[in-house]
């Protein structure tokens, strides 16, 4: 397990995507800045598709949402995909209340997140071929 001064997480780098598992109960102002900088770092290293596993996160606040939106924006700008998986009811409610469920890519399981990444890559490859 990796640990920044404020965030516990593991990362599994695959060919098409990286799976970042957050080992935190709260995605709040004590964790969000570390998550944001980790997402920016991964993107800077050339990773275009990130799956964020939030299975252990029970509570999210606005700073946590902000970190998720940053991840979403930087990857989309680069033609990649940012997929959130295994959200708690609390986190899902917050996303819906904030009307971000149409903006963020949310799936119930890691398996579906991986499928989503591969679908995105196939669609992108097809677009590249037609251009």
Domain boundaries, the chain: 2-130
Cβ neighbours of residue 104 closer than 8 Å, sequence gap 6 or more: 68, 69, 72, 82, 84, 95
| pLDDT tens, position by position, 91-108 | 999 999 999 999 999 999
Sorting pLDDT into bands at 50, 70 and 90, what band is 6?
Answer: confident
Would you call 115 helix, strand, or coil by DSSP? helix
Among the ranges given (32-41, 81-90, 103-112, 119-128), the one the predictor scored with the smallest mean pLDDT: 119-128
User: Which pLDDT does position 115 carry in this prediction?
Assistant: 97
Burial profile 68-105: b = 16 or more Cβ within 10 angstroms, e = fewer: bbbbbebbeeeebbbbbbbbbeebbebbeeeeeeeebb
SS (H, E, C) 36-53: HHHHHHHHHCCCCEEEEE
pLDDT at 128: 86
Answer left, alpha or beta for residue 35, where phi above 0 means left and psi between -120 and 50 means alpha: alpha
Residue 129 has pLDDT above 90, yes or no: no
The mean predicted confidence, pLDDT, of the chain is 94
Helix (H, G, I), strand (E, B) or coil at 24: coil
Please tell me the pTM assigned to this model.
Answer: 0.93
CATH superfamily of 2-130: STAS domain (3.30.750.24)
The one-character DSSP state at 56 is T
């Amino acid at each position: 397990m990796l640990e920044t001064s404020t965030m516990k997480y593991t990362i599994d780098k695959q060919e098409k995507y990286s799976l970042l598992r957050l080992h935190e109960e709260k995605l709040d102002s004590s964790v969000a800045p570390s998550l944001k900088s980790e997402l920016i770092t991964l993107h800077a290293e050339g990773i275009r598709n990130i799956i964020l596993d939030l299975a252990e996160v029970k509570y999210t606040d606005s700073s946590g949402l902000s970190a998720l939106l940053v991840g979403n924006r930087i990857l989309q700008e680069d033609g990649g995909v940012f997929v959130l998986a295994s959200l708690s009811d609390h986190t899902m409610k917050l996303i819906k209340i904030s009307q971000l469920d149409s903006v963020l890519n949310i799936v119930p399981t890691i398996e579906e997140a991986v499928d989503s990444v591969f679908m995105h890559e196939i669609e992108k490859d097809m677009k590249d071929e037609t251009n």
